[in-house]
Amino acid sequence: MTIDVSQFHQVFFEESFEGLDVMENGLLNLAQDSSSEAINTIFRAAHSIKGGAGTFGFNTISSFTHLMETLLDEIRNEQRAISNELTGVLLKSVDVLRGMLSAVQAGEEFDQAETLQATTQLQNLLDDTASGETVPQAFSPSADSDGSERNSWQISFSPFADLMFTGNDPVRMFRELNQLGNMSVNVDTAALPDFADLEPENLYLNWQLHLDGEFDKPALDEVFEWVEGDCELTIEKVEPQTSSPAVVTDLPEQSSSTITSVTVAASPEAGRQSQAQTQAVASIRVATDKIDALINMMGELVITQSMLGQIGEDFSPEKLAQLKDGLVELERNTRQLQEGILGIRMLPISFVFNRFPRLVHDLCEKTGKQVELKITGEQTELDKTVMESISDPLVHLVRNSMDHGLELPEVRRACGKSETGVLHLHASHQGGNIVIEITDDGAGLNEQKIFAKAVERGLIRADEQLSADRIHELIFLPGFSTAEAVSDLSGRGVGMDVVRKNILSLGGYVEVESAPGVGSKFTIRLPLTLAIMDGQTVSLGYEKFIIPLLSIVESVEIVSSDIKKVSGKGELYLLREEYIPVIR
């Protein structure tokens, strides 16, 4: 039996991208939190990505991540101090790794030049050189030499039968061991039961491994650290053999036939990329408490259905009240089930907010500004579809605040402000909407400049009297920009109109408040979900319309006596001493 591991590609990619987010946020916070737990969190994320990539045969990704992991291991063992250069190289490596994973997922070739450059930087740090001429070793199976003397090791590995249920895979560990040096493997199949008693998810094999290479025992301990409590393990150092043992691919015939049940067939990485692309499916992670709640709701619905069925089998007028109660209960159960199912699509907005620490960090490096990013309400939930659509508008607004709003340190100091500006992202629920606020304590909108630019563009007359709110609205006009020069941040006249257009397409709207010298606040209001919306039906002539309840401010039942006919103006309805046209 051969297991097609390509079916697990999508899970691997999802978990890897989440791991990259963990690494990125951890690296950005190293200046504030360099505790051993924080460093271990970053290390574990890298280790998981490396192991998963090795399992699926993405060897280049696995080797590249191993270099990052080695640097992180030196940090956590206090063999290397944290520096801006080190953090910068690791952040760049996270970007490169994200690009490699995205390319493999899409079935495309990743940027070899960028990968080679990042590999060289990592290797130079490991070698403590700055020449940039070190030949990168991340693409070689034996690239993991750390300068230790050559040692030989005998390993006895007997995993418990339920090891696979812990998420560990012996083949993945063997791939990691094979990267350390030359390895030979012997398999003990004595514990294999008869075919009729075979449980495909259990392990029945034991392994004897001989490993030879330039590494010490901690490197071996690292490979097995995830299975310490799920196996019997013996590692003994032996005298090096005079001849190199056979590599892992030269297995005895009996062992080879056994291992093929769990190994990935050797094939070019591009072939696996194509498989990954075809196997990719849209998916979403759901908290177990939401699943449990749905199961409970289904139980209540079944009980109500059974009760109504019994009433229907022996119905009589005396049971009418009981039937009505049952129908009310059925409506309640159905509504709860609807809300529960919609809740499955709800994700915390942290999935979007988590990208902004890196964005702000990079923009600070580029502009020379000092900005503290505050994020609150990141556990506020909204529909997955809405979240995917709101990401780009939020990026536009954050970049706009960084470019136009927040000032350089010397400018802020001259204005009596702290040299470090504050950019605050906040999310909350208000009724059936989610409200997202982007606030900065920068210079605010330059109303005179906006007004002058609008006159220059012919959008308004020079003698028009506009309120501050009306002037603020001008920034959402297509092509409007007050930037004196085009930069790679903003100034091209595209962005703010796209922000409003995208938000309006989601059934929401955006507002702006600003005070000169104090700062600006952009407020986005969006419906929580676009999947199902409650509405009120309205008939007009021969047509019927549905108005979303969230868009209805007030609904009044009309009394015919309040409708008046006015000559030349048709029918009018008197509402709070004001006549409103009636359209039938």
Q: Does residue 281 form part of some domain?
A: no
Q: Same structural domain for residues 80 and 97? A: yes
462 class by beta-carbon count within 10 Å (0-12 exposed, 13-18 middle, 19+ buried): exposed
Q: How far apart are CA 184 and CA 244, in angstroms?
A: 10
Q: Same structural domain for residues 159 and 97? A: no
pLDDT of residue 428: 94
Tell me the sheet residues that pair with 540. Answer: 543
Q: Same structural domain for residues 390 and 442? A: yes
Q: Does residue 135 form part of some domain?
A: no
Q: How far apart are CA 533 and CA 386, in angstroms?
A: 14
Q: How far apart are CA 126 and CA 405, in angstroms?
A: 41
Cα 163 to Cα 3, 114, 154, 172: the distances in Å are 17, 38, 22, 13
Beta-carbon count within 10 A of 184 CB: 18
Q: Which mean pLDDT values do the consecutive 10-residue runs of the chain (584 residues) have?
A: 60 87 89 85 89 82 89 87 88 92 88 88 74 40 47 88 78 82 83 80 86 83 81 81 42 35 36 43 72 88 88 85 89 87 85 90 90 93 86 90 91 93 94 90 90 85 87 82 56 67 88 92 86 79 83 81 79 84 80
Number of compact structural domains in the chain = 5
Q: How far apart are CA 408 and CA 583, in angstroms?
A: 57
* Domain endpoint, select from 111, 126, 141: 126
* Domain endpoint, select from 346, 381, 416: 346
Q: How far apart are CA 116 and CA 109, in angstroms?
A: 14
Q: Does residue 268 form part of some domain?
A: no
Q: How far apart are CA 406 and CA 305, in angstroms?
A: 60
Q: Same structural domain for residues 163 and 82? A: no
pLDDT of residue 487: 54
AA letter at 454: A
Q: How far apart are CA 435 and CA 457, in angstroms?
A: 33
Q: How far apart are CA 164 and CA 224, in angstroms?
A: 14
Q: Same structural domain for residues 12 and 106? A: yes
Which CATH number do you get for residue 208?
A: 3.30.70.260
AA letter at 20: L
Residue among 118, 14, 105, 23 at smallest CA distance from 64: 118
Domain encompassing residue 73: 5-126
Strands 543-548 and 381-383: unpaired
pLDDT of residue 490: 54
Q: Does residue 507 form part of some domain?
A: yes
Residue among 403, 351, 360, 375 at smallest CA distance from 91: 360
Q: Does residue 78 form part of some domain?
A: yes
Cα 534 to Cα 346, 509, 544, 556: the distances in Å are 17, 19, 15, 18
Q: How far apart are CA 256 and CA 573, in angstroms?
A: 87
Residues 6+ apart with CB under 8 A from 537: 544, 545, 546
Q: Same structural domain for residues 295 and 382? A: no
Q: Same structural domain for residues 560 and 577? A: yes
Q: Does residue 577 form part of some domain?
A: yes
Q: Does residue 264 form part of some domain?
A: no
pLDDT of residue 483: 59
Q: Same structural domain for residues 374 and 510? A: yes
Q: Same structural domain for residues 300 and 161? A: no
Q: Same structural domain for residues 322 and 336? A: yes
Q: Same structural domain for residues 77 and 13? A: yes
Q: Does residue 282 form part of some domain?
A: no
Q: Same structural domain for residues 182 and 116? A: no
pLDDT of residue 513: 93
Q: What is the arrangement of strands in the sheet containing 206-213, beginning at the earlier edge strand?
A: 182-188, 206-213, 151-159, 231-238
Which CATH number do you get for residue 503?
A: 3.30.565.10
